[in-house]
């Protein structure tokens, strides 16, 4: 197929696909997330923003609380290696890191995976910050495994004797993310989480 290299403004009308569930099991999504992290050379606790830029992403900010802002899009994919992630101007850095990993999950699971593995003709993709279907769960699984890969997380959590804050600093994620991850890996139950 001939391609003409035409510069197009993202503002121009484009037909965007919306994320569709992959139907993959959580373990498969997690394995894929760890594989992608390895391809990106991303190590737990490192700077996810630079890693995204390396992969052709751009990170921008939007005020979702402003009534003038009617677009609640959080990810726009224009092509492989060409996507834009929008973060809220009003959230903390730790929450933002999880959001970046979540949007990266949409990019991999709902754009690259259907194109490369299922040969689906998706050209452009747009995900919403307030999406509600199964794709959000899949992107959350991806983000948790990308930022807190299960083997390393399990080992480090045990070495830190379950001290939440210590683990949160190690992986550069919020304490609540550590608590949820530890619970889902069967490392703790809600009643026995340690505080420093």
Partner 1 sequence: MTKKKNDAFEFLSPKIRLFLSADLIGSTALKQAVGISAALKKDGAGFSSTHSGWISPILFFYREFTKLFFTSWDDERKKYEKRHETSAIRERPFLWKSAGDELIFCIVLETEDSLFLSIYAWMSAIRAYRERTSVLERALDVKSAVWVAGFPVLNQEVALPNEQFIFKDEVSRVEGDYTTNLMNLQEHYRNIKKSNWKIDFIGPSIDTGFRLAKFADSRRIIISVELSNIMARCSLTKMKENDICIYFDGMVELKGVVGGEPYPIFWIDVSSNKYYSESLQKITRSDAISLENLEEFTKAFIDEHKKYLFLPFINGALNPDLRAPPANYRTQIEHIAETLKKEMRKESDLEKSLANVEVDPDEVPKHQLNVSLPKGNEKTTLLIDEDGN
46 near partner 1, rule: CB under 8 A: no
Q: Which residue from 21, 35, 43, 61 is in contact with partner 1, where contact means CB under 8 A?
A: 35
Measured from the CB atom, the residue of 26 and 44 that comes closer to partner 1 is 26
Count CA atoms closer than 13 A to 28's CA, side-chain side.
8
How far is it, in rounded angstroms, from Cα 67 to Cα 104? Answer: 27
CA max distance for the chain? 61
Q: Which residue from 21, 50, 71, 81 is in contact with partner 1, where contact means CB under 8 A?
A: 81
Residue located via tokens 């703790």: 188
92 near partner 1, rule: CB under 8 A: yes
DSSP string of 56-100?
Answer: TEEEEEE-TT-TT----EEEEEEETTEEEEEEETTS-HHHHHHHH
How far is it, in rounded angstroms, from Cα 124 to Cα 176? Answer: 33
Considering only residues 99 through 128, tell me which ones interact with partner 1, judged by CB under 8 A: 108, 112-113, 116-117, 123
Q: Indicate the DSSP class of residue 108.
A: I
Q: Are strands 82-88 and 57-62 parallel, antiparallel or unpaired?
A: parallel
Counting residues that bind partner 1 (by CB under 8 A) gives 75
Binding mask of the shown chain, residues 47 to 66, with x at each position contacting partner 1 by CB under 8 A: ------xxxxxx-----xxx
Q: How far is the CB of 55 from partner 1 (least distance, A)?
A: 6
Considering only residues 131 through 160, tell me which ones interact with partner 1, judged by CB under 8 A: 132, 136-137, 140-141, 144, 150-151, 154
Q: Which residue from 50, 61, 80, 120 is in contact with partner 1, where contact means CB under 8 A?
A: 80
184 near partner 1, rule: CB under 8 A: yes
């Amino acid at each position: 197929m001939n391609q003409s290299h035409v510069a197009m403004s993202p503002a121009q009308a484009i037909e965007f696909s919306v994320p569709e569930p992959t139907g993959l099991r959580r373990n498969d999504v997690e394995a894929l997330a760890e594989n992608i992290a390895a391809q990106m050379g991303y190590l737990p606790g490192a700077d996810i923003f630079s890693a995204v830029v390396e992969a052709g992403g751009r990170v921008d900010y939007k005020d979702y609380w402003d009534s003038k802002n009617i677009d609640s899009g959080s990810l726009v994919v224009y092509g492989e290696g060409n996507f834009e992630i929008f973060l809220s101007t009003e959230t903390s850095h730790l929450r933002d890191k999880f959001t970046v990993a979540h949007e990266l999950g949409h990019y991999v699971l709902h754009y690259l995976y259907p194109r490369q593995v299922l040969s689906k003709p998706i050209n452009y993709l747009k995900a919403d910050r307030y999406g509600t279907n199964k794709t959000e769960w899949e992107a959350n699984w991806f983000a948790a495994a990308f930022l807190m890969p299960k083997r390393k997380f399990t080992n480090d959590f045990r070495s830190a004797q379950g001290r939440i804050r210590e683990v949160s600093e190690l992986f550069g994620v919020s304490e609540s993310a550590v608590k949820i991850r530890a619970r889902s890996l069967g490392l703790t139950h809600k009643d026995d989480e340690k505080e420093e």
